[in-house]
């Protein structure tokens, strides 16, 4: 009996030790913290929402590789300091005389290509002010829609914001700004206007994703001209109507100029180029910017 009691005691002690070890092991496991949990991408962001279109095969199909354009541009590539990173880049053409007025252009998802450089020259001559096309891709260019989609989705909004602010600082304290962009750049035209605050005198968006945060829109120091393609399947009539509502809630003014055309209609290097609508929209844009 004594031997059996001793054996039972040993078994119980061993079991207790094992349980204690398991409990100790669990207690030493690192606790899950909020930082260890993967966070969802900020889908509420206007730039992220537009970038998500790159996952849509129909959007890719609607953007076949751009056609070559006749190079008519004048101007030069420049570099400027950007806080916290590599120098920024842009294509600049200055007007005759000592003007402090600048139009900042924002490229489509293809990058700062010859089409955008041609736009720099054209608007510089049309408006008689300085024009800078800001490179948000740091020199990268896309030829295929697949490449363009990857570049757009890889775009870091924080880096782009720093590039815009670096460009504004480089152009000097006396400079004031008008912004304009197409597609991917249409959304960034509005974001640049928000970033540059009261130094912004005008904002033109060609079928870009609007900002939806009314609190942010209250910080706009300018009105907005929105160029809308009524056949656009992504920046739809509803998207534009919501933007009008949000701008009104923010106490800001937006004018929507509508065209019976498709997304990308203003780009002569694209297959959806609509010459009549493109010319009509340019006239509206010129009249708007000339008064700024």
pLDDT band at 23 (very low <50, low <70, confident <90, very high): very low
pLDDT band at 68 (very low <50, low <70, confident <90, very high): confident
pLDDT band at 74 (very low <50, low <70, confident <90, very high): confident
Say whether pLDDT at 36 is over 90.
no
CA dist 169 and 174 (Å) reads 10
Q: Give the model's pLDDT for residue 249.
A: 98
Residues linked to residue 135 through DSSP beta bridges, in sequence order? 89
Least confident of 5-14, 78-87, 155-164: 5-14
Question: For domain 55-290, which architecture applies?
Answer: 3-Layer(aba) Sandwich (3.40)
Residue ranges of the domains in the chain? Answer: 55-290
What's the pTM value of the predicted model, to 2 decimals?
0.85
Q: Tens digit of pLDDT for each residue in 199-229?
A: 999 999 999 999 999 999 999 999 999 999 9
Q: Tell me what percent of the residues of the chain surpass a pLDDT of 70.
A: 85
Q: Tens digit of pLDDT for each residue in 125-158?
A: 999 999 999 999 999 999 999 999 999 999 999 9
């Amino acid at each position: 009996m004594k031997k059996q009691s001793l054996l039972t005691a040993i078994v119980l002690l061993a079991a207790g030790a094992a349980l204690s070890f398991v409990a100790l092991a669990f207690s030493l496991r690192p606790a899950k913290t909020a930082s260890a949990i993967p966070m969802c991408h900020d889908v509420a962001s206007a730039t992220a929402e537009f970038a998500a279109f790159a996952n849509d095969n129909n959007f890719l199909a609607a953007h076949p590789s751009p056609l070559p354009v006749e190079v008519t541009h004048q101007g030069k590539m420049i570099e400027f300091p950007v806080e916290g990173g590599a120098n920024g880049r842009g294509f600049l053409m200055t007007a005759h005389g000592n003007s402090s007025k600048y139009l900042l252009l924002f490229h489509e998802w293809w990058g700062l290509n010859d089409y955008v450089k041609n736009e720099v020259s054209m608007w510089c001559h049309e408006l008689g002010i300085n024009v800078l096309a800001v490179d948000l891709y740091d020199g990268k260019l896309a030829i295929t829609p697949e490449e363009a989609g990857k570049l757009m989705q890889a775009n870091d909004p924080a880096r782009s914001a720093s590039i815009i602010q670096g460009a504004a600082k480089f152009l000097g304290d006396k400079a004031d700004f008008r912004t304009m962009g197409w597609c991917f750049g249409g959304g960034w035209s509005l974001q640049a206007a928000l970033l540059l605050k009261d130094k912004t005198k005008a904002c033109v968006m060609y079928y870009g994703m609007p900002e939806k945060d009314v609190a942010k829109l209250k910080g706009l120091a300018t009105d907005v001209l929105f160029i809308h393609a009524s056949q656009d399947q992504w920046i739809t009539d509803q998207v534009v109507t919501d933007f009008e509502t949000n701008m009104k809630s923010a106490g800001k003014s937006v004018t929507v100029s509508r065209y019976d055309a498709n997304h990308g209609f203003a780009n002569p290097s694209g297959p959806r180029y609509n010459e009549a609508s493109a010319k009509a929209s340019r006239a509206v844009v010129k009249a708007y910017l000339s008064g700024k």
